[in-house]
Structure 1
């Protein structure tokens, strides 16, 4: 397993998910609720991809494949957790804007 490539993949997908989540908030603020929902779905897809990569690392470690904990791995985990939180908050913002505009 190429650990560094897996880590960079987590970072990339997490960053894309964060961007899609922020874009969803912008669309909702402008009353573009269908586009906001599409952005939320894209964020969920990217988070799923990042989580699959994270799972590969976890499974490898559970099977005895040990790796040093690097700053890069910590950075990837940080990106993933922040992207998940921002996606959840974006969901709340979109719902809030929908109810305000109803």
Structure 2
């Protein structure tokens, strides 16, 4: 993998991870509005973006395991930060949606407290 391909992969990682993170926060916002179907749809889309990121990352790891050494660039480190942030955002979004679903059920029974 040459330097241009390496940078392109890092940019693709950043783009897909950023999309996943944005979708996770969109899911939280939908859940605040009790739009749970839309929230879960956003999480599904976030998962697809994260599959792309994981595939790209695995490709880099596989090439290194095959002996293709690359200098670790700030760009690649930045892309990994985005990946980890998006994974955390997706996991937290799941928790928030479940919490809002519980609150919605309680409010249906007891009204707004």
TM-score normalised according to structure 2 size: 0.89
Query: Counterpart in 2 of 1:48?
Result: 51
In the alignment, the residues of structure 2 paired with residue 81 and residue 74 of structure 1 have an alpha-carbon distance, to the nearest angstrom, of 11
5+ unaligned residues in a row in structure 2: which ranges?
A: 106-113
State the aligned residue count: 102
Structure with larger Rg:
2
5+ unaligned residues in a row in structure 1: which ranges?
A: none
1:16 aligns with 2:24: no
* One of 91, 94, 101 as aligned partner of 1:91: 94
In the alignment, the residues of structure 1 paired with residue 82 and residue 27 of structure 2 have an alpha-carbon distance, to the nearest angstrom, of 18
Alignment of 1:65-84 (within 5 A): 65-84=68-87
In the alignment, the residues of structure 2 paired with residue 32 and residue 43 of structure 1 have an alpha-carbon distance, to the nearest angstrom, of 17
TM-score normalised according to structure 1 size: 0.98
Q: Name the SS of the counterpart of 1:49 in structure 2.
A: helix
Tell me the C-alpha RMSD between the 2 structures: 0.5
Query: Counterpart in 1 of 2:36?
Result: 33
Deviations 1:38-73 (A, max 9, x none): 001011110010110000000000000000000000
Query: Counterpart in 1 of 2:110?
Result: none
